[in-house]
Structure 1
Amino acid sequence: MNNRKLAIMRLMDSRQKFTARELAERFDVSVRTIQRDLDALQALGFPLYTEVGVNGGYRVLPNRILPPLQLTQQEALGLFMMLEYLQQVPDFPHGSMRGHLAEQYFSTLPADVQDLIMRMREHITFVQYPGEHAEPLTTGILDAAVEKREIQFIYHARSGRKTVRVFPYGIYYEQGNWYMPAGKKDRVLLYRVDRMQRLVVMDSTDESVPSLKAWLDAKEDRESVEVVLHFTEFGARIAASDVLFKSVQGHEWRGLVPPEEFSFTARKLLSYGPEVKVISPPELKQQVRELLERSTSQYDRG
Protein backbone atom coordinates (compact mmCIF):
# COMPACT_ATOMS: atom_id res chain seq x y z
CA MET A 1 0.00 0.00 0.00
CA ASN A 2 1.51 3.33 -1.08
CA ASN A 3 1.74 6.45 1.06
CA ARG A 4 -1.11 8.19 -0.77
CA LYS A 5 -3.57 5.40 0.01
CA LEU A 6 -2.51 5.45 3.67
CA ALA A 7 -2.98 9.23 3.74
CA ILE A 8 -6.45 8.85 2.19
CA MET A 9 -7.39 6.30 4.87
CA ARG A 10 -6.30 8.66 7.67
CA LEU A 11 -8.12 11.57 6.08
CA MET A 12 -11.34 9.62 5.51
CA ASP A 13 -11.23 8.28 9.06
CA SER A 14 -11.91 11.81 10.30
CA ARG A 15 -15.57 11.02 9.41
CA GLN A 16 -15.78 13.97 7.05
CA LYS A 17 -17.28 13.66 3.57
CA PHE A 18 -15.05 14.23 0.54
CA THR A 19 -15.71 14.24 -3.18
CA ALA A 20 -13.29 12.55 -5.57
CA ARG A 21 -12.39 15.96 -7.00
CA GLU A 22 -11.56 17.38 -3.55
CA LEU A 23 -9.31 14.41 -2.86
CA ALA A 24 -7.68 14.73 -6.28
CA GLU A 25 -6.89 18.41 -5.66
CA ARG A 26 -5.59 17.64 -2.17
CA PHE A 27 -3.16 14.99 -3.42
CA ASP A 28 -2.42 16.65 -6.75
CA VAL A 29 -3.49 13.71 -8.90
CA SER A 30 -6.29 13.06 -11.36
CA VAL A 31 -9.85 12.20 -10.34
CA ARG A 32 -9.43 8.85 -12.09
CA THR A 33 -6.36 8.06 -9.96
CA ILE A 34 -8.29 8.87 -6.78
CA GLN A 35 -11.18 6.66 -7.88
CA ARG A 36 -8.76 3.78 -8.47
CA ASP A 37 -7.28 4.37 -4.99
CA LEU A 38 -10.75 4.34 -3.40
CA ASP A 39 -11.71 1.17 -5.28
CA ALA A 40 -8.49 -0.49 -4.06
CA LEU A 41 -9.21 0.53 -0.45
CA GLN A 42 -12.74 -0.86 -0.65
CA ALA A 43 -11.35 -4.11 -2.05
CA LEU A 44 -9.07 -4.33 1.01
CA GLY A 45 -12.09 -3.97 3.28
CA PHE A 46 -11.91 -0.26 4.13
CA PRO A 47 -15.60 0.56 4.82
CA LEU A 48 -16.26 3.41 2.39
CA TYR A 49 -19.71 4.22 1.11
CA THR A 50 -20.88 6.68 -1.53
CA GLU A 51 -23.56 9.33 -1.22
CA VAL A 52 -24.96 10.24 -4.62
CA GLY A 53 -26.43 13.56 -5.70
CA VAL A 54 -25.32 17.18 -5.83
CA ASN A 55 -24.03 17.08 -2.23
CA GLY A 56 -22.73 13.53 -2.47
CA GLY A 57 -19.29 12.19 -1.76
CA TYR A 58 -17.36 9.47 0.04
CA ARG A 59 -17.72 8.68 3.76
CA VAL A 60 -16.54 5.98 6.15
CA LEU A 61 -19.13 3.78 7.87
CA PRO A 62 -19.70 4.80 11.52
CA ASN A 63 -19.06 1.25 12.81
CA ARG A 64 -15.85 1.06 10.89
CA ILE A 65 -12.80 -1.16 11.04
CA LEU A 66 -9.81 1.02 11.73
CA PRO A 67 -6.94 0.98 9.22
CA PRO A 68 -4.01 -1.36 9.92
CA LEU A 69 -0.88 -0.08 11.62
CA GLN A 70 2.26 0.34 9.58
CA LEU A 71 5.04 -0.82 11.92
CA THR A 72 8.69 -1.75 11.78
CA GLN A 73 9.59 -5.23 13.00
CA GLN A 74 10.83 -3.87 16.34
CA GLU A 75 7.61 -1.87 16.81
CA ALA A 76 5.53 -4.96 15.95
CA LEU A 77 7.39 -7.04 18.53
CA GLY A 78 7.05 -4.34 21.18
CA LEU A 79 3.33 -3.90 20.55
CA PHE A 80 2.68 -7.63 20.86
CA MET A 81 4.62 -7.76 24.14
CA MET A 82 2.47 -4.89 25.43
CA LEU A 83 -0.68 -6.81 24.50
CA GLU A 84 0.72 -9.84 26.34
CA TYR A 85 1.37 -7.68 29.42
CA LEU A 86 -2.12 -6.16 29.40
CA GLN A 87 -3.64 -9.64 29.48
CA GLN A 88 -2.09 -10.09 32.94
CA VAL A 89 -3.76 -6.96 34.37
CA PRO A 90 -7.02 -8.04 36.04
CA ASP A 91 -10.28 -6.35 35.07
CA PHE A 92 -8.69 -4.13 32.44
CA PRO A 93 -11.42 -1.76 31.12
CA HIS A 94 -13.00 -3.22 27.99
CA GLY A 95 -10.56 -6.05 28.53
CA SER A 96 -12.82 -8.81 27.21
CA MET A 97 -11.34 -8.12 23.77
CA ARG A 98 -7.68 -8.38 24.80
CA GLY A 99 -7.26 -12.03 23.83
CA HIS A 100 -9.13 -11.55 20.56
CA LEU A 101 -7.12 -8.42 19.75
CA ALA A 102 -3.79 -10.15 20.41
CA GLU A 103 -4.81 -13.15 18.30
CA GLN A 104 -6.10 -10.99 15.45
CA TYR A 105 -2.99 -8.81 15.48
CA PHE A 106 -0.70 -11.84 15.61
CA SER A 107 -2.42 -13.41 12.60
CA THR A 108 -1.69 -10.35 10.44
CA LEU A 109 2.07 -10.47 11.04
CA PRO A 110 4.49 -12.06 8.55
CA ALA A 111 5.38 -15.69 9.23
CA ASP A 112 8.97 -14.92 10.19
CA VAL A 113 7.83 -12.31 12.76
CA GLN A 114 5.25 -14.75 14.15
CA ASP A 115 8.02 -17.34 14.54
CA LEU A 116 10.25 -14.80 16.32
CA ILE A 117 7.43 -13.89 18.72
CA MET A 118 6.78 -17.55 19.52
CA ARG A 119 10.46 -18.00 20.40
CA MET A 120 10.54 -14.79 22.43
CA ARG A 121 7.57 -15.94 24.52
CA GLU A 122 9.71 -18.77 25.84
CA HIS A 123 12.08 -16.24 27.40
CA ILE A 124 9.80 -13.59 28.91
CA THR A 125 6.87 -13.51 31.30
CA PHE A 126 4.91 -10.89 33.27
CA VAL A 127 4.17 -11.74 36.88
CA GLN A 128 1.26 -9.96 38.56
CA TYR A 129 -0.09 -10.35 42.07
CA PRO A 130 -3.66 -9.16 41.72
CA GLY A 131 -6.26 -9.10 44.43
CA GLU A 132 -9.31 -11.34 44.29
CA HIS A 133 -11.67 -9.30 42.18
CA ALA A 134 -15.25 -10.43 42.68
CA GLU A 135 -16.70 -8.66 39.66
CA PRO A 136 -15.18 -7.00 36.57
CA LEU A 137 -16.41 -3.47 37.32
CA THR A 138 -13.72 -1.27 35.79
CA THR A 139 -15.47 -0.83 32.43
CA GLY A 140 -18.70 0.35 34.07
CA ILE A 141 -16.85 2.72 36.39
CA LEU A 142 -14.78 4.19 33.56
CA ASP A 143 -17.82 4.72 31.34
CA ALA A 144 -19.71 6.38 34.22
CA ALA A 145 -16.74 8.67 34.94
CA VAL A 146 -16.53 9.77 31.31
CA GLU A 147 -20.27 10.52 31.29
CA LYS A 148 -20.07 12.14 34.80
CA ARG A 149 -22.82 9.85 36.07
CA GLU A 150 -23.43 8.72 39.64
CA ILE A 151 -22.92 5.08 40.59
CA GLN A 152 -24.20 2.88 43.38
CA PHE A 153 -22.49 -0.24 44.73
CA ILE A 154 -21.98 -2.46 47.76
CA TYR A 155 -18.60 -1.83 49.42
CA HIS A 156 -16.77 -4.22 51.74
CA ALA A 157 -15.28 -1.76 54.26
CA ARG A 158 -13.51 -2.59 57.52
CA SER A 159 -16.72 -1.88 59.40
CA GLY A 160 -18.70 -4.24 57.17
CA ARG A 161 -20.76 -4.00 54.00
CA LYS A 162 -22.42 -0.74 53.10
CA THR A 163 -24.27 0.77 50.15
CA VAL A 164 -22.44 3.69 48.56
CA ARG A 165 -23.53 6.32 46.04
CA VAL A 166 -20.80 8.55 44.59
CA PHE A 167 -19.59 10.24 41.43
CA PRO A 168 -16.40 8.48 40.19
CA TYR A 169 -13.48 10.55 38.91
CA GLY A 170 -11.90 7.57 37.13
CA ILE A 171 -9.71 4.61 38.02
CA TYR A 172 -6.00 3.92 38.33
CA TYR A 173 -3.99 0.72 38.68
CA GLU A 174 -1.28 0.43 41.32
CA GLN A 175 0.59 -2.60 42.63
CA GLY A 176 -1.97 -5.21 41.61
CA ASN A 177 -5.19 -3.34 42.41
CA TRP A 178 -7.54 -0.83 40.80
CA TYR A 179 -8.46 2.26 42.82
CA MET A 180 -11.36 4.66 42.31
CA PRO A 181 -11.36 8.20 43.76
CA ALA A 182 -14.91 9.53 43.97
CA GLY A 183 -16.74 12.59 45.22
CA LYS A 184 -19.36 12.40 47.96
CA LYS A 185 -20.76 15.74 49.13
CA ASP A 186 -17.69 17.86 49.90
CA ARG A 187 -15.28 14.96 50.38
CA VAL A 188 -13.15 12.80 48.09
CA LEU A 189 -13.00 9.12 49.07
CA LEU A 190 -10.77 6.40 47.66
CA TYR A 191 -12.21 2.92 47.03
CA ARG A 192 -10.53 -0.33 46.04
CA VAL A 193 -12.44 -1.73 43.10
CA ASP A 194 -11.96 -5.38 44.17
CA ARG A 195 -13.99 -4.57 47.32
CA MET A 196 -16.95 -3.34 45.28
CA GLN A 197 -19.97 -5.38 44.16
CA ARG A 198 -23.31 -4.90 42.41
CA LEU A 199 -22.44 -1.77 40.49
CA VAL A 200 -25.40 0.22 39.18
CA VAL A 201 -24.96 3.30 36.98
CA MET A 202 -27.57 5.89 37.95
CA ASP A 203 -29.32 8.45 35.75
CA SER A 204 -28.13 11.49 37.71
CA THR A 205 -25.19 13.46 36.28
CA ASP A 206 -22.97 16.25 37.57
CA GLU A 207 -20.89 18.22 35.08
CA SER A 208 -18.80 19.71 37.90
CA VAL A 209 -17.22 16.32 38.71
CA PRO A 210 -13.51 16.54 37.83
CA SER A 211 -11.60 14.05 35.73
CA LEU A 212 -9.05 11.74 37.31
CA LYS A 213 -6.23 13.79 35.77
CA ALA A 214 -7.64 17.06 37.15
CA TRP A 215 -8.00 15.48 40.61
CA LEU A 216 -4.44 14.14 40.58
CA ASP A 217 -3.12 17.55 39.52
CA ALA A 218 -5.15 19.25 42.25
CA LYS A 219 -3.73 16.90 44.90
CA GLU A 220 -0.37 18.56 44.43
CA ASP A 221 -1.86 21.86 45.62
CA ARG A 222 -2.82 20.53 49.06
CA GLU A 223 -1.00 21.73 52.16
CA SER A 224 1.77 19.23 52.83
CA VAL A 225 4.47 18.50 55.38
CA GLU A 226 8.03 17.45 54.58
CA VAL A 227 8.69 13.83 55.50
CA VAL A 228 12.26 12.61 56.01
CA LEU A 229 13.03 8.87 56.11
CA HIS A 230 16.24 6.95 56.59
CA PHE A 231 16.54 3.55 54.92
CA THR A 232 19.03 0.79 55.52
CA GLU A 233 21.05 -0.47 52.56
CA PHE A 234 18.52 -3.23 51.97
CA GLY A 235 15.57 -0.89 52.55
CA ALA A 236 16.91 1.57 49.97
CA ARG A 237 17.05 -1.22 47.37
CA ILE A 238 13.43 -2.11 48.07
CA ALA A 239 12.37 1.55 48.02
CA ALA A 240 13.95 2.06 44.59
CA SER A 241 11.17 -0.09 43.05
CA ASP A 242 8.41 1.37 45.23
CA VAL A 243 6.06 3.85 43.54
CA LEU A 244 5.94 6.02 46.67
CA PHE A 245 9.60 6.03 47.72
CA LYS A 246 11.44 5.41 44.45
CA SER A 247 13.09 8.86 44.59
CA VAL A 248 15.25 7.73 47.53
CA GLN A 249 18.76 9.19 47.31
CA GLY A 250 21.42 7.13 49.02
CA HIS A 251 19.71 6.06 52.23
CA GLU A 252 17.47 9.14 52.56
CA TRP A 253 14.04 9.98 51.22
CA ARG A 254 12.49 13.44 51.39
CA GLY A 255 9.04 14.31 50.15
CA LEU A 256 5.94 16.38 50.80
CA VAL A 257 3.00 14.41 52.21
CA PRO A 258 -0.43 15.87 53.11
CA PRO A 259 -1.27 15.21 56.80
CA GLU A 260 -4.47 13.37 55.78
CA GLU A 261 -2.26 10.76 54.08
CA PHE A 262 -0.10 10.07 57.15
CA SER A 263 -2.20 7.03 58.04
CA PHE A 264 -1.63 5.46 54.62
CA THR A 265 2.06 6.36 54.70
CA ALA A 266 2.50 4.89 58.18
CA ARG A 267 1.01 1.55 57.09
CA LYS A 268 3.22 1.58 54.04
CA LEU A 269 6.31 2.16 56.19
CA LEU A 270 5.29 -0.60 58.57
CA SER A 271 5.75 -3.11 55.73
CA TYR A 272 9.47 -2.18 55.64
CA GLY A 273 9.96 -3.30 59.25
CA PRO A 274 13.43 -2.39 60.58
CA GLU A 275 14.65 -1.29 57.14
CA VAL A 276 13.33 2.28 57.54
CA LYS A 277 13.17 4.92 60.26
CA VAL A 278 11.03 8.07 60.32
CA ILE A 279 13.21 11.09 61.06
CA SER A 280 10.41 13.66 60.79
CA PRO A 281 7.71 14.82 61.31
CA PRO A 282 6.86 13.70 64.88
CA GLU A 283 3.20 13.08 63.95
CA LEU A 284 4.11 10.43 61.37
CA LYS A 285 6.68 8.91 63.71
CA GLN A 286 3.98 8.57 66.37
CA GLN A 287 1.54 6.90 63.96
CA VAL A 288 4.16 4.32 62.98
CA ARG A 289 4.94 3.69 66.65
CA GLU A 290 1.25 3.15 67.46
CA LEU A 291 0.90 0.68 64.60
CA LEU A 292 3.93 -1.23 65.84
CA GLU A 293 2.55 -1.34 69.38
CA ARG A 294 -0.80 -2.64 68.16
CA SER A 295 0.97 -5.28 66.05
CA THR A 296 3.09 -6.57 68.96
CA SER A 297 0.36 -6.32 71.62
CA GLN A 298 -1.65 -9.12 70.02
CA TYR A 299 1.22 -11.49 70.79
CA ASP A 300 1.45 -10.30 74.42
CA ARG A 301 -2.06 -11.62 75.00
CA GLY A 302 -0.93 -15.14 74.01
Structure 2
Amino acid sequence: MANTSSRTLRLLSLLQTHRFWRGAELAERLEVSARTLRRDVDRLRELGYPVEASRGVDGGYRLAAGAALPPLVVDDEEAVALAVGLQSAAQGAVAGIEESSLRILAKVIQVMPARLRRRVEALRAMTVPATWQPAGDAGVDPAALTTVALACRDSERLTFGYTTADGRCGDRQVEPHRLVSLGQRWYLVAYDLTRHDWRSFRVDRLSAPAATGDRFRPRELPAEDAADFVRAGIGNMPPAHEVEVLVHAPGELVRARVGRWCTVEDLGPDRCLLRMTTESLAWAAFAIGLTGAEAEVRAPRALADQLREWGRRFITAADSTVH
Protein backbone atom coordinates (compact mmCIF):
# COMPACT_ATOMS: atom_id res chain seq x y z
CA MET A 1 0.00 0.00 0.00
CA ALA A 2 1.27 3.46 -0.80
CA ASN A 3 2.13 5.82 2.05
CA THR A 4 -0.44 8.39 3.17
CA SER A 5 1.04 11.36 1.28
CA SER A 6 1.42 9.60 -2.06
CA ARG A 7 -2.02 8.00 -1.69
CA THR A 8 -3.59 11.40 -1.04
CA LEU A 9 -2.01 12.76 -4.21
CA ARG A 10 -3.25 9.72 -6.12
CA LEU A 11 -6.76 10.31 -4.75
CA LEU A 12 -6.64 13.95 -5.83
CA SER A 13 -5.50 12.93 -9.31
CA LEU A 14 -8.36 10.45 -9.66
CA LEU A 15 -10.93 13.00 -8.49
CA GLN A 16 -9.67 15.41 -11.16
CA THR A 17 -10.01 12.86 -13.97
CA HIS A 18 -13.69 11.91 -13.44
CA ARG A 19 -16.66 14.05 -12.53
CA PHE A 20 -17.95 11.41 -10.10
CA TRP A 21 -16.47 8.27 -8.52
CA ARG A 22 -18.49 5.57 -6.78
CA GLY A 23 -17.00 5.03 -3.33
CA ALA A 24 -16.39 1.30 -3.80
CA GLU A 25 -14.69 1.83 -7.17
CA LEU A 26 -12.46 4.60 -5.82
CA ALA A 27 -11.41 2.50 -2.82
CA GLU A 28 -10.62 -0.40 -5.14
CA ARG A 29 -8.45 1.79 -7.37
CA LEU A 30 -6.51 3.00 -4.33
CA GLU A 31 -6.40 -0.49 -2.78
CA VAL A 32 -7.74 0.76 0.53
CA SER A 33 -10.80 0.16 2.70
CA ALA A 34 -13.86 2.41 2.63
CA ARG A 35 -12.88 3.71 6.08
CA THR A 36 -9.35 4.65 4.89
CA LEU A 37 -10.85 6.32 1.83
CA ARG A 38 -13.06 8.49 4.07
CA ARG A 39 -10.02 9.53 6.12
CA ASP A 40 -8.12 10.46 2.92
CA VAL A 41 -11.08 12.50 1.70
CA ASP A 42 -11.19 14.33 5.03
CA ARG A 43 -7.46 15.03 4.66
CA LEU A 44 -8.07 16.63 1.24
CA ARG A 45 -10.83 18.76 2.73
CA GLU A 46 -8.47 19.96 5.47
CA LEU A 47 -6.08 21.04 2.71
CA GLY A 48 -8.82 23.13 1.12
CA TYR A 49 -10.12 20.78 -1.57
CA PRO A 50 -13.95 20.86 -1.72
CA VAL A 51 -14.74 17.13 -2.00
CA GLU A 52 -18.47 16.41 -1.97
CA ALA A 53 -19.86 13.05 -0.85
CA SER A 54 -23.19 11.35 -1.57
CA ARG A 55 -24.56 8.50 0.54
CA GLY A 56 -26.40 5.34 -0.41
CA VAL A 57 -25.69 2.19 -2.40
CA ASP A 58 -24.44 4.20 -5.37
CA GLY A 59 -22.87 6.91 -3.22
CA GLY A 60 -19.49 8.35 -4.01
CA TYR A 61 -17.31 11.42 -4.27
CA ARG A 62 -16.67 14.30 -6.61
CA LEU A 63 -14.39 17.34 -6.59
CA ALA A 64 -16.52 20.48 -6.55
CA ALA A 65 -15.62 24.01 -7.58
CA GLY A 66 -14.09 25.92 -4.69
CA ALA A 67 -13.33 29.54 -3.84
CA ALA A 68 -9.82 29.24 -5.27
CA LEU A 69 -8.15 27.05 -7.88
CA PRO A 70 -6.41 24.13 -6.13
CA PRO A 71 -3.11 22.70 -7.38
CA LEU A 72 -3.69 20.31 -10.27
CA VAL A 73 -2.25 16.82 -10.47
CA VAL A 74 -1.55 15.72 -14.05
CA ASP A 75 -0.11 12.57 -15.60
CA ASP A 76 2.71 12.44 -18.17
CA GLU A 77 0.47 12.70 -21.23
CA GLU A 78 -1.44 15.63 -19.75
CA ALA A 79 1.78 17.42 -18.79
CA VAL A 80 3.15 17.16 -22.33
CA ALA A 81 -0.15 18.36 -23.82
CA LEU A 82 -0.27 21.26 -21.35
CA ALA A 83 3.28 22.39 -22.19
CA VAL A 84 2.75 22.20 -25.96
CA GLY A 85 -0.53 24.09 -25.69
CA LEU A 86 1.04 26.79 -23.53
CA GLN A 87 3.91 27.18 -26.00
CA SER A 88 1.40 27.79 -28.76
CA ALA A 89 -0.52 30.32 -26.65
CA ALA A 90 2.70 32.11 -25.62
CA GLN A 91 3.54 32.55 -29.30
CA GLY A 92 0.27 34.36 -29.93
CA ALA A 93 -2.13 31.60 -30.94
CA VAL A 94 -4.71 33.27 -28.68
CA ALA A 95 -4.47 37.04 -28.55
CA GLY A 96 -4.24 38.65 -25.12
CA ILE A 97 -3.01 35.71 -23.05
CA GLU A 98 0.60 35.48 -24.22
CA GLU A 99 2.17 36.75 -20.99
CA SER A 100 0.01 34.67 -18.63
CA SER A 101 0.64 31.60 -20.82
CA LEU A 102 4.37 32.19 -20.57
CA ARG A 103 4.26 32.49 -16.76
CA ILE A 104 2.55 29.16 -16.31
CA LEU A 105 4.72 27.55 -19.02
CA ALA A 106 7.81 28.53 -17.03
CA LYS A 107 6.33 26.88 -13.92
CA VAL A 108 5.52 23.67 -15.78
CA ILE A 109 8.87 23.37 -17.56
CA GLN A 110 10.81 24.02 -14.33
CA VAL A 111 9.42 20.92 -12.62
CA MET A 112 9.07 18.70 -15.69
CA PRO A 113 11.36 15.64 -15.85
CA ALA A 114 13.97 15.62 -18.62
CA ARG A 115 12.26 12.73 -20.44
CA LEU A 116 9.04 14.76 -20.72
CA ARG A 117 10.92 17.89 -21.81
CA ARG A 118 12.39 15.87 -24.67
CA ARG A 119 8.90 14.79 -25.74
CA VAL A 120 7.66 18.39 -25.62
CA GLU A 121 10.61 19.56 -27.73
CA ALA A 122 10.10 16.75 -30.25
CA LEU A 123 6.44 17.66 -30.65
CA ARG A 124 7.26 21.34 -31.02
CA ALA A 125 9.97 20.65 -33.62
CA MET A 126 7.59 18.58 -35.73
CA THR A 127 4.66 21.01 -35.52
CA VAL A 128 4.19 23.93 -37.91
CA PRO A 129 2.66 26.89 -36.02
CA ALA A 130 -0.43 28.43 -37.59
CA THR A 131 0.07 31.81 -35.93
CA TRP A 132 0.59 34.97 -37.95
CA GLN A 133 4.14 36.34 -37.83
CA PRO A 134 5.16 39.84 -38.92
CA ALA A 135 7.04 39.86 -42.22
CA GLY A 136 10.68 38.85 -41.82
CA ASP A 137 10.27 37.35 -38.35
CA ALA A 138 11.64 33.89 -37.70
CA GLY A 139 9.44 33.45 -34.62
CA VAL A 140 10.45 32.88 -31.02
CA ASP A 141 11.84 29.59 -29.74
CA PRO A 142 9.60 28.58 -26.80
CA ALA A 143 12.57 27.04 -25.00
CA ALA A 144 14.47 30.34 -25.21
CA LEU A 145 11.38 32.22 -24.08
CA THR A 146 11.03 29.95 -21.05
CA THR A 147 14.72 30.33 -20.13
CA VAL A 148 14.42 34.12 -20.21
CA ALA A 149 11.16 34.08 -18.22
CA LEU A 150 12.71 31.99 -15.44
CA ALA A 151 15.76 34.29 -15.28
CA CYS A 152 13.43 37.30 -14.91
CA ARG A 153 11.44 35.60 -12.17
CA ASP A 154 14.49 34.45 -10.23
CA SER A 155 16.56 37.68 -10.67
CA GLU A 156 19.35 35.64 -12.24
CA ARG A 157 21.89 37.09 -14.68
CA LEU A 158 21.52 36.01 -18.27
CA THR A 159 23.92 35.64 -21.21
CA PHE A 160 22.97 35.37 -24.88
CA GLY A 161 24.03 36.21 -28.39
CA TYR A 162 22.17 39.11 -29.99
CA THR A 163 21.73 40.31 -33.57
CA THR A 164 20.87 43.99 -33.92
CA ALA A 165 18.56 45.45 -36.56
CA ASP A 166 21.53 46.28 -38.82
CA GLY A 167 22.85 42.69 -38.65
CA ARG A 168 25.67 43.11 -36.10
CA CYS A 169 26.16 40.15 -33.76
CA GLY A 170 27.61 40.12 -30.27
CA ASP A 171 27.42 38.55 -26.82
CA ARG A 172 25.45 40.19 -24.02
CA GLN A 173 25.33 39.75 -20.26
CA VAL A 174 22.29 41.33 -18.63
CA GLU A 175 20.20 41.56 -15.50
CA PRO A 176 16.75 40.62 -16.86
CA HIS A 177 13.77 42.61 -15.60
CA ARG A 178 10.59 41.71 -17.50
CA LEU A 179 9.31 40.11 -20.69
CA VAL A 180 6.83 42.20 -22.67
CA SER A 181 4.48 40.98 -25.41
CA LEU A 182 3.92 43.93 -27.72
CA GLY A 183 2.97 44.29 -31.35
CA GLN A 184 3.05 40.51 -32.07
CA ARG A 185 6.61 40.31 -30.71
CA TRP A 186 8.32 39.50 -27.42
CA TYR A 187 10.81 41.95 -25.85
CA LEU A 188 13.17 41.48 -22.94
CA VAL A 189 13.69 44.55 -20.77
CA ALA A 190 17.05 44.23 -19.01
CA TYR A 191 20.02 46.14 -17.60
CA ASP A 192 22.96 45.62 -19.97
CA LEU A 193 26.07 45.01 -17.86
CA THR A 194 28.43 45.77 -20.77
CA ARG A 195 26.83 49.09 -21.76
CA HIS A 196 25.81 49.97 -18.19
CA ASP A 197 22.34 51.03 -19.24
CA TRP A 198 18.81 49.74 -19.66
CA ARG A 199 17.95 48.10 -22.98
CA SER A 200 15.06 46.28 -24.64
CA PHE A 201 15.91 43.22 -26.76
CA ARG A 202 13.73 41.48 -29.31
CA VAL A 203 13.59 37.88 -28.14
CA ASP A 204 13.46 36.50 -31.70
CA ARG A 205 16.96 38.00 -32.19
CA LEU A 206 18.41 36.24 -29.12
CA SER A 207 20.48 33.10 -29.50
CA ALA A 208 21.45 30.52 -26.88
CA PRO A 209 20.16 32.35 -23.78
CA ALA A 210 21.53 30.82 -20.58
CA ALA A 211 21.15 31.67 -16.91
CA THR A 212 24.54 32.09 -15.19
CA GLY A 213 23.42 31.16 -11.68
CA ASP A 214 24.48 34.60 -10.39
CA ARG A 215 21.68 36.37 -8.52
CA PHE A 216 21.33 40.15 -8.40
CA ARG A 217 19.37 42.82 -6.57
CA PRO A 218 16.79 44.26 -9.02
CA ARG A 219 17.43 47.84 -10.12
CA GLU A 220 14.78 50.53 -10.47
CA LEU A 221 13.47 50.73 -14.03
CA PRO A 222 13.56 54.29 -15.46
CA ALA A 223 9.95 54.07 -16.69
CA GLU A 224 6.43 53.62 -15.36
CA ASP A 225 6.50 49.96 -16.37
CA ALA A 226 8.32 47.62 -18.74
CA ALA A 227 5.77 48.02 -21.56
CA ASP A 228 6.14 51.81 -21.50
CA PHE A 229 9.93 51.40 -21.62
CA VAL A 230 9.68 49.21 -24.74
CA ARG A 231 7.24 51.57 -26.46
CA ALA A 232 9.49 54.56 -25.78
CA GLY A 233 12.49 52.75 -27.25
CA ILE A 234 10.84 51.68 -30.49
CA GLY A 235 10.77 54.67 -32.77
CA ASN A 236 10.10 52.70 -35.95
CA MET A 237 7.41 50.36 -34.70
CA PRO A 238 4.58 50.16 -37.26
CA PRO A 239 1.41 51.90 -36.06
CA ALA A 240 -1.38 49.61 -34.94
CA HIS A 241 -4.62 49.72 -36.91
CA GLU A 242 -8.01 49.46 -35.22
CA VAL A 243 -10.06 47.36 -37.63
CA GLU A 244 -13.84 47.20 -37.60
CA VAL A 245 -15.74 45.17 -40.21
CA LEU A 246 -19.45 44.34 -40.54
CA VAL A 247 -19.73 40.70 -41.63
CA HIS A 248 -22.96 39.33 -43.11
CA ALA A 249 -22.79 35.96 -41.39
CA PRO A 250 -23.74 34.52 -37.98
CA GLY A 251 -21.31 35.42 -35.23
CA GLU A 252 -20.90 31.75 -34.28
CA LEU A 253 -19.67 30.93 -37.79
CA VAL A 254 -17.22 33.85 -37.87
CA ARG A 255 -15.83 32.98 -34.42
CA ALA A 256 -15.17 29.42 -35.55
CA ARG A 257 -13.10 30.72 -38.47
CA VAL A 258 -11.24 33.77 -37.12
CA GLY A 259 -12.19 34.04 -33.45
CA ARG A 260 -8.67 33.20 -32.30
CA TRP A 261 -7.40 36.49 -33.78
CA CYS A 262 -10.45 38.78 -33.57
CA THR A 263 -13.32 39.70 -31.31
CA VAL A 264 -16.77 39.09 -32.76
CA GLU A 265 -19.93 40.87 -31.58
CA ASP A 266 -23.32 39.45 -32.54
CA LEU A 267 -25.66 41.96 -34.19
CA GLY A 268 -28.44 39.53 -35.12
CA PRO A 269 -28.94 36.06 -36.52
CA ASP A 270 -27.05 36.80 -39.74
CA ARG A 271 -24.75 39.73 -38.93
CA CYS A 272 -21.82 40.40 -36.64
CA LEU A 273 -19.13 42.98 -36.03
CA LEU A 274 -15.51 41.86 -36.33
CA ARG A 275 -12.83 43.87 -34.51
CA MET A 276 -9.06 43.50 -34.30
CA THR A 277 -5.95 45.52 -33.54
CA THR A 278 -3.10 44.74 -35.92
CA GLU A 279 0.06 46.17 -37.42
CA SER A 280 -0.67 44.46 -40.73
CA LEU A 281 -3.63 45.45 -42.89
CA ALA A 282 -2.71 42.50 -45.10
CA TRP A 283 -3.52 40.23 -42.16
CA ALA A 284 -6.84 42.01 -41.62
CA ALA A 285 -7.71 41.50 -45.30
CA PHE A 286 -6.77 37.84 -45.01
CA ALA A 287 -9.02 37.42 -41.96
CA ILE A 288 -11.95 38.99 -43.83
CA GLY A 289 -11.43 36.49 -46.62
CA LEU A 290 -11.39 33.62 -44.13
CA THR A 291 -14.91 34.49 -42.96
CA GLY A 292 -16.23 33.34 -46.35
CA ALA A 293 -18.97 35.98 -46.24
CA GLU A 294 -19.90 39.39 -47.60
CA ALA A 295 -18.43 42.20 -45.51
CA GLU A 296 -18.37 45.98 -45.15
CA VAL A 297 -15.28 47.81 -43.91
CA ARG A 298 -16.11 50.44 -41.31
CA ALA A 299 -12.54 51.31 -40.33
CA PRO A 300 -9.87 52.13 -41.28
CA ARG A 301 -10.16 53.56 -44.78
CA ALA A 302 -6.71 52.22 -45.63
CA LEU A 303 -8.08 48.67 -45.26
CA ALA A 304 -10.72 49.37 -47.91
CA ASP A 305 -7.99 50.72 -50.22
CA GLN A 306 -5.94 47.55 -49.64
CA LEU A 307 -8.92 45.32 -50.44
CA ARG A 308 -9.51 47.22 -53.70
CA GLU A 309 -5.86 46.72 -54.68
CA TRP A 310 -6.00 43.04 -53.78
CA GLY A 311 -9.26 42.67 -55.69
CA ARG A 312 -7.73 44.26 -58.78
CA ARG A 313 -4.74 41.92 -58.65
CA PHE A 314 -6.88 38.84 -58.04
CA ILE A 315 -9.15 39.69 -60.98
CA THR A 316 -6.10 40.20 -63.21
CA ALA A 317 -4.70 36.85 -62.10
CA ALA A 318 -8.03 35.10 -62.74
CA ASP A 319 -8.47 36.70 -66.19
CA SER A 320 -4.94 35.73 -67.25
CA THR A 321 -5.31 32.08 -66.25
CA VAL A 322 -4.38 29.75 -69.12
CA HIS A 323 -7.23 27.34 -69.86
Q: TM-score scaled by structure 1?
A: 0.40
Find the structure with the greater CA-based Rg.
1
Q: TM-score scaled by structure 2?
A: 0.38
